[in-house]
Amino acid sequence: MYPRLLAAISAALLFLLTPVSAEPPAPYQAQYRAFASGLPCGQGEIELKRLSPGQYQYSASGKICSMGPRASHQSLFTYDDRKILPQRYETVLDGVWRDRHLAGIQQEGVFVQTLNGEPLPLELPFHPAQWEPTLLIHQLGLARSSVQLSYTWGEETRDYLFEYLGEETLETKLGQLKTHKFEQDHPHKQRVAQFWFAPQLNDALVQVKVSRLGIPWLTVELSAYQAAP
């Protein structure tokens, strides 16, 4: 009974919290570089494709830190009635110590998920998530106020409040960009993550900064961006 009730509540929340986007998603390719304590430590890329009218695919891949896993991710979603609706996703993490294969498909408004081929229960710590990682970032880029978002990653579903900190102009590899800035409310208070998105690049992610105990630890920066036809 409890898992079914939780699934129904999650489906209702997903419908209520799905942001309305007046314009269809704009396809693009973006490349990123990562730095740990100021030193280069990895790179990655994100691509958004339009497969057919109303049907889209996100692809992401890369390796951020030397000891972190190499990630490969792909997800499908539709755009209908000015809303983004997830369909399914697959993430493969090729780690130093272990590999993980996380997959999810939307059923009745929530993600039914598997980890390394084993179904995840519809209850804590794997209660149904609203989004998968790339769509979470996409939705955050569309927001212009604080927003609560969740996704399943590794050993748990994580619910985060992203506090909107307003506009900020950044110096980037692509020149000056006016951005919208968010700060993630992490359950481990010593960790702080901040995100910047650029409206003039179709709200793409421009920069991420992570600190621990007030000490800068990881920075991810946009290094190239190309709008697709």
Look at the chain and report how many structural domains it folds into: 1
Q: Is the pLDDT of residue 137 over 50?
A: yes
109 against 143, higher pLDDT: 143
pLDDT band per the 50, 70, 90 thresholds, residue 97: low
What pLDDT does 122 receive? 74
Domain that holds residue 108: 2-227
Q: Is the pLDDT of residue 163 over 70?
A: yes
Tell me the pLDDT tens digit for each residue of 37-71: 888 999 999 999 999 999 999 999 998 776 677 88
- The answer to whether residues 44 and 60 touch, using CB atoms and an 8 Å cutoff, is yes
- The answer to whether residues 207 and 196 touch, using CB atoms and an 8 Å cutoff, is yes
Distance (Å, rounded) from C-alpha 84 to C-alpha 8? 19
pLDDT band per the 50, 70, 90 thresholds, residue 11: very low
- Indicate left, alpha or beta for 65 from its phi (over 0: left) and psi (-120 to 50: alpha): beta
What pLDDT does 153 receive? 66
Average pLDDT score over residue span 155-168: 87
pTM of the model: 0.84
Task: Residue 221: give its domain's CATH number.
Answer: 2.50.20
21 against 144, higher pLDDT: 144
- The answer to whether residues 70 and 93 touch, using CB atoms and an 8 Å cutoff, is yes
% of the chain at pLDDT higher than 70: 83
Per mean pLDDT, which of 53-57, 80-84, 111-115, 156-160 is the most reliable? 53-57
pLDDT band per the 50, 70, 90 thresholds, residue 199: very high
Q: Is the pLDDT of residue 205 over 70?
A: yes
> Of 229, 159, 138, 228, whose CA–CA distance to 10 is shortest?
159
| Mean pLDDT for the chain overall | 83
What pLDDT does 10 receive? 35
What pLDDT does 66 receive? 60
% of the chain at pLDDT higher than 90: 45
Distance (Å, rounded) from C-alpha 214 to C-alpha 30? 29
Distance (Å, rounded) from C-alpha 140 to C-alpha 9? 22
Alpha-helical (H) ranges within 44-90 are none
Alpha-helical (H) ranges within the chain are 2-17, 133-142
